Structure 1
Amino acid sequence: MHILKSISASLVALTVAAPAIAETVTIDLWSRADRSGPLRAGNIVAAAEQLNRVFEAAGSETRVEVNLIETNAKGFDADALDLLKAHSVGDTPDIAVAAHEWIGSFVEAGLAANLEDHIAANEALYSDMIPSLWNSVMYKGERYGIPQDSEIRMFFVNNDILRAAGYDQTFIDELPGKVEAGEFTMYDWCDLAADAVNKGAAKIGWVHRPNVGPDFQMAMASFGIDIYNEDEAKLQITKSGLEKYYGWLKYCVDNGSLPADMTTYSWDSTHAAFRGGSALGKFHGIWNVGAQMEAFDLSGPEDYFNKITWIHSPPAEKGGAPKNLSHPIIYIVGETENKDLAAMLVAMASQHVPNTEHAVTTNHTPIMYGQTAMPKFQKEGWALIAGTPMLEFAEFMPNHAKIGQYNAITYSGVQAVETGEMTPAEATEMVIEELEVELGDDVIILD
């Protein structure tokens, strides 16, 4: 009821401020033509329809019309570059759907509006937001976007392989808690996987993604590598942490838990290793659940969690904190004359009902805690509900345009170490040098 009153009060304020004469306000909405997430734009269109009903009920002749600028960009990075180009020639949209790591570039270009005042003025509309998600829209300590969805990337563990290796149900049940308590480390993980292989319960210990991507960030974070300096809005790296991270990968290859040729795998072979029952573990994302259900012929949540356990990326050392990764898509509001109205449409589209329609149909975790209690989530989103508490330990990609280059360079060290071409120390030196050459002033070398 408190939220409904807040929405009503905010919309009445917009109505009172609306011109007495008939006017149609056009809100330009920039969004990729994304069949996997049509409600990212669709919920804004629906919010405009809702707002028009409010205007009509209030006797105002003002109406809102959404002009959808649907692009054909192949990915969010390409789309962000197109958006910046449009802004540079004066075609700034009022709202845009974007990957969160581009916020810094949008702010520096003068494209994204600061939303701190909007959020403060509409506190009830955002009070249920999962707090950690706000980190994804921060730039230099202030919020320039609203999280549109979220996800969790974690380690999947095949319980049947653990049982075949002699581990009882108590061990399986206690494993997630031991990870969160800092009692089970990254080295323990590799030892566990190696033991499963040595006992013949698994053909492969564990697998990771076979190419460049953000998943590795959660493993790096487990080794204390904070890759973003928020105060200076620059990427950063710790040489000592990087060498420990590469040293852990070498440890896993040497003890037989991680394939030395992992970086030559295809995605099909990577998925097949876990879904086919050959590998004890895999780290990737929650959207894998559907394919896992089908591959293992599982019938529901009880069946699923009897078969598979989720854990965070464990800490590097006992007593440390675990990590995982989330990569939210966000709404930004353009620095335009319509920004206040655009921000209200974003707020309306971000509420529990519309966001749940998007989240459940696209296998994304919610942005509001209360969504997990909604009937649609309870019925169709059991995996998403189970994953939501894991957001407490979530890391996010830095809001920096060169994170893709950074990931590619650090991944070259992963390849070199796992294949045995370089020692961890040699790979660290190579990566540090490449980061300095390619990123220049955009990266800080901490030690």
Structure 2
Amino acid sequence: MFRTLTLAATAIALLSSAANAEEIKLKLWTLADRNGPARITNIEDAAAILNSQYKAAGIDKTIVIEANNSGQKGWDDYALDTLKAFAVNQGPDIYLLPHEWIGQFATDGYAKALDEEIAAKPWVYGDVLPVLWNSVKGTDGKVYAIPQDAEIRMFFYNKDMLRKIGKDEAFIDAIPARVETGEFTLDDFTALSKEVVEKGAAQYGMLHRPNVGIDYLMVFASNGVKFTDEKTGKLLFPKKEMEAALSWYERNAKEGVTPVDNTAMSWEAIQTAFKQEKAFVFHQGVWAVAWQVGDKLGATWPTDGKGYFNKIGWIPAPAAEKGGKPANLSHPIAYAINPKGTNAAIAADLVALASLPYFNTKHAVSSYHTAISNAQTAMPDYKANWALEAASPMMVHAKFVPNHTKFGSYNKVLFSGLQAVETGRMSAAEAVEFIADELEVQFGSEVEIRDALSN
């Protein structure tokens, strides 16, 4: 009798559902990026899965994704637009953010805390690289977004140049392992680069980006710099550690390892110098492999992994001192969910599905981003991309820029100090005082100026 009533109730519920068909519209926002279409299509594919499940269960609901590709010029401008939309209750249900904005959206109540969601779905989140969760936490320690991708920065160096100056294969092959153990330091890297230049194998020892970014920050991390106070969430400027990092750049310029006009060079000039083998070291990220291989920029390099790695080596930023730890940087883009959305639970289910290895790998291989989970590294398409497969293990040393919306402005001041040091306009010590003064003027009590981290 009970079962008969239950079946009857189920039938009535399904008939009622059919009579009241529901269309669930979810807004999805991201920055327009022709290299990252899967940021939208993965959510759309996840919606198709849920729609098929609804249909199989006799539930007359359909999820419709209303995607918006922002035409803003960069992630920061897009994030500000999104923040303004939330302020007038017009925010999307699902949105992507560069991880450093997560803290602001969480503080303002625009990002849903996801710790319970993550714990309830070990079938997807239990395999996410633990280090990535550090990038999407608010000041309260809770997780407010799901990493949608990762990336890794490195020093690229030319092994053929080492052979030209007489280094044997044992020496060349041992460099990454020596970096890992802290035996090969930043100063050792400088000395090796100087030797390559002095013996005529290269015109430039090391080249780095010419403008503000985060590549060079892994050198600061290697020197022990921390950019925020974990307890207060405030920006932090530790003078001792900052001077140590800037001194390395100062020595490189004075010793002819890095050209004093590096920051005045164009991106094309820098990339071409490395590709045409005029520079021993280039400092950027794994996506740079895309222009390094083949016959781009007027030179031909191997397109297969074996040939490429016979020619080019990768290392994170070596330790600043013997026995120290190397450092690396990653800059994830992450999915956040509107906690006040009428369908926040469905939005969370879509993000979970889109984070599965199959879907995330589609994004990774098409955009040169590293895996967010261990399982992805075994996916055939991921393994077929030898550059990503080789980059994934480097995530072990990954650190992240602060989840602080004003870090971009902070970094601009820091870069101006680095530029002054390389051009010889300031010593490292002078640059530290200059940066500290500028930060105090711009941020006031929002930044803590310390003589050292221990203070």
TM-score (norm 2): 0.92
1:372–1:385 CA contact under 8 A, matched in 2? yes
Q: 1:369 to 1:174 in 2, by over 3 A?
A: same
Alpha-carbon shift at residue 382 of structure 1 (Å): 1.1
Alpha-carbon distance in structure 1 between the residues aligned to 2:224 and 2:202: 30
Specify the alignment match of 2:366 in structure 1. Answer: 361
Task: Say which is worse superposed, 369-378 or 81-90, in terms of deviation.
Answer: 369-378
Alpha-carbon distance in structure 2 between the residues aligned to 1:59 and 1:231: 50
In the alignment, does 2:314 pair up with 1:313?
Answer: no
Alpha-carbon shift at residue 253 of structure 1 (Å): 1.4
Specify the alignment match of 1:153 in structure 2. Answer: 153
Alpha-carbon distance in structure 1 between the residues aligned to 2:221 and 2:280: 22
Q: Which runs of 5+ in 2 are unaligned?
A: 1-12
Which amino acid counterpart does residue 256 of structure 2 have in structure 1? Answer: G
In the alignment, does 2:439 pair up with 1:435?
Answer: yes
Alpha-carbon shift at residue 32 of structure 1 (Å): 2.1
Alpha-carbon distance in structure 2 between the residues aligned to 1:130 and 1:296: 35
Render the CA deviation track for 1:284-314: whole Å, top value 9, x for unaligned.
Answer: 0101112111243313000000000000100
Specify the alignment match of 1:204 in structure 2. Answer: 204
Alpha-carbon distance in structure 1 between the residues aligned to 2:284 and 2:70: 28
- Listed as ranges, the matches of 1:17-416 within 5 Å are 21-140=20-139, 141-294=141-294, 295-335=299-339, 336-379=341-384, 381-416=385-420
Alpha-carbon distance in structure 2 between the residues aligned to 1:258 and 1:33: 35
Alpha-carbon distance in structure 2 between the residues aligned to 1:376 and 1:352: 11
Which amino acid counterpart does residue 92 of structure 1 have in structure 2? Answer: G
Task: Say which is worse superposed, 147-156 or 247-256, in terms of deviation.
Answer: 247-256
1:191–1:255 CA contact under 8 A, matched in 2? no
Alpha-carbon shift at residue 439 of structure 1 (Å): 1.5
Specify the alignment match of 2:448 in structure 1. Answer: 444
Alpha-carbon distance in structure 2 between the residues aligned to 1:292 and 1:299: 9
Which amino acid counterpart does residue 40 of structure 2 have in structure 1? Answer: A
Alpha-carbon shift at residue 442 of structure 1 (Å): 2.1
Which amino acid counterpart does residue 80 of structure 2 have in structure 1? Answer: L
Alpha-carbon distance in structure 2 between the residues aligned to 1:230 and 1:348: 32
Alpha-carbon shift at residue 349 of structure 1 (Å): 0.4
2:250–2:422 CA contact under 8 A, matched in 1? yes
Q: CA RMSD in A?
A: 1.6
What number of residue pairs does the alignment pair up?
A: 431
Alpha-carbon distance in structure 1 between the residues aligned to 2:178 and 2:24: 55
Task: Say which is worse superposed, 244-253 or 144-153, in terms of deviation.
Answer: 244-253
Which amino acid counterpart does residue 88 of structure 2 have in structure 1? Answer: V
Which amino acid counterpart does residue 230 of structure 1 have in structure 2? Answer: E
1:323–1:393 CA contact under 8 A, matched in 2? yes
Alpha-carbon distance in structure 1 between the residues aligned to 2:79 and 2:27: 16
Alpha-carbon distance in structure 2 between the residues aligned to 1:196 and 1:33: 42
Which amino acid counterpart does residue 302 of structure 2 have in structure 1? Answer: L
SS in 2 for 1:143: coil
Alpha-carbon distance in structure 2 between the residues aligned to 1:161 and 1:442: 47
1:235–1:443 CA contact under 8 A, matched in 2? yes
SS in 1 for 2:321: coil
SS in 1 for 2:293: helix
2:28–2:40 CA contact under 8 A, matched in 1? yes
2:301–2:308 CA contact under 8 A, matched in 1? no
Which amino acid counterpart does residue 311 of structure 1 have in structure 2? Answer: I
Alpha-carbon shift at residue 19 of structure 1 (Å): 6.9
Render the CA deviation track for 1:345-390: whole Å, top value 9, x for unaligned.
Answer: 00000101111111101111111111111111122x1110100010
Alpha-carbon distance in structure 2 between the residues aligned to 1:150 and 1:234: 25
% same residue: 46
Alpha-carbon distance in structure 1 between the residues aligned to 2:137 and 2:92: 20
Alpha-carbon distance in structure 2 between the residues aligned to 1:338 and 1:167: 62
Task: Say which is worse superposed, 246-255 or 190-199, in terms of deviation.
Answer: 246-255
Alpha-carbon distance in structure 1 between the residues aligned to 2:33 and 2:253: 38
Which amino acid counterpart does residue 390 of structure 1 have in structure 2? Answer: M
SS in 2 for 1:142: coil
Alpha-carbon distance in structure 2 between the residues aligned to 1:299 and 1:37: 22
Which amino acid counterpart does residue 179 of structure 1 have in structure 2? Answer: V
Which amino acid counterpart does residue 178 of structure 2 have in structure 1? Answer: K
Q: Which runs of 5+ in 1 are unaligned?
A: 1-14
2:194–2:257 CA contact under 8 A, matched in 1? yes
Which amino acid counterpart does residue 222 of structure 1 have in structure 2? Answer: S
Compare CA radii of gyration and give the structure with the larger one: 2
1:30–1:93 CA contact under 8 A, matched in 2? yes
Which amino acid counterpart does residue 273 of structure 2 have in structure 1? Answer: A
Alpha-carbon distance in structure 2 between the residues aligned to 1:19 and 1:386: 51
Alpha-carbon shift at residue 446 of structure 1 (Å): 2.5
Specify the alignment match of 2:5 in structure 1. Answer: none
Alpha-carbon shift at residue 423 of structure 1 (Å): 1.1
Which amino acid counterpart does residue 292 of structure 2 have in structure 1? Answer: Q
Alpha-carbon shift at residue 73 of structure 1 (Å): 1.2
1:210–1:263 CA contact under 8 A, matched in 2? yes
Which amino acid counterpart does residue 373 of structure 1 have in structure 2? Answer: A
Moved segments of 4+, more than 6 Å = none
